[in-house]
Amino acid sequence: MKNLYSTKHLKSLLTTLFLVNIIYISKANTYYSIGSLSVSSTLSWRDALGISPTGFNLTDTFVIKSTHIMYVGSNWKVTGLNSTIIIENGGSLKANDSINLNSSTTFNIKDGGSYIHMNNSFAPTSIFNGIEVFEARRNVEINNWYDYKTPITVNTFGNLKITYNPSDIWNQENNISLIQGNFFLDNRSRNAFQFANNSNHTVTINKNFIIKSRVFNFSGAYSKIYRLNIKGGFIQNGGILSHQSPSGILGIFTMNFTGDSSFIYRTGGTYRILKINYSVDTNAKFYMTRRMQIPISRSFTVNGTLMCDTFAMFGSGSFYFTT
């Protein structure tokens, strides 16, 4: 009887040790980049003990460190359940080839980190297939894309730069709502970047809206309400700001300034004002940097403070000042 008890006790002990070993082997690990290398090579990563991962199919975290500019040597598949990719402040990932993520993978760009999308894989089911955690001062550049019929599927960005050159109007179908930093348009395409389709939509930019080149239409300008909140300024060095609409239909597009030092500053480009309204939020200050024309059927509404200096408004439109 004593021997039987000892045997059972030994089996129980061995089973416990086996399970502990399995848990230890399968536990999540964190790997760090060792240089400006290919993310798809396991040799580009080391953990705290200096060991490289055996693959990218476990619940691991991969951290691109500051100053490292990594790229995709070939298709990078991160298939581990609940895995994580982190780009640290000062780190960069240039996706010159596709990156395929598990739907449970977290893609986290820290403040000061950068991601450049440079391939034409179907982003909604590849790099943006997981869980996006993009901090307020991180940088995303869209340099290439699947096609102009496919919108960006991420709702919130930090700094967003668009350099993709579509072959037709690239409509974001109301997907983008918040840009926590700067929004920057810069390519030589004559095809417009649009935020909205034929439904009401608001986009908020917490810093500056900058057009260096390219056409920007908030929407196709059907008879809906479109609103662009800008906390910083509108800066135009080139390109075209417009708001298109079918003949006889007036969509309502309002450029609303929300910051304590908002402004419009233009050194070049084309500025089509016929279908743009302006407003200044309560507690906001708008600084005029030049004469502003308010054409017929358009308006400028001040709910906050207008700092006009020596500049004047002119035109046949309406001016409203509330207190």
Reported as a single tens digit per residue, the pLDDT across 245-304 is 555 556 678 999 999 999 999 999 988 877 789 999 999 999 999 999 998 888 999 999
CA-to-CA separations, 3 to 13, 16, 17, 316, in angstroms, rounded: 15, 20, 21, 103
Dig out the tokens for 173 from the structure: 């179908």
Q: What is the pLDDT of residues 32-62, one digit of tens each?
A: 999 999 999 999 999 999 999 999 999 999 9
For 92, the token pair is 């960069």
Reference 192, options 213, 210, 208, 207; nearest CA is: 213
Phi, psi of 239 (to 5 degrees): 70, -165
Residues 137-167 pLDDT 10s: 999 999 999 999 999 999 999 999 999 999 9
Distance of CA 322 to the CA centre of its chain: 35
Contact residues for 7 (Cβ-Cβ < 8 A; gap 6+) = none
Grouping H, G, I as helix, E, B as strand and the rest as coil, residue 43 is: helix
Please state the domain extents for the chain. 62-321
CA–CA distance, 40 with 54 (Å, rounded to integer):
12
- Report how far residue 305's alpha carbon sits from residue 285's, in angstroms, rounded to the nearest whole number: 5
Q: How large is the greatest C-alpha to C-alpha distance in the chain, in angstroms?
A: 105
Average pLDDT, the chain: 89
Query: Which residues, at least 6 apart from 32, have a Cβ–Cβ distance to it below 8 Å?
Result: 45, 46, 47, 63, 65
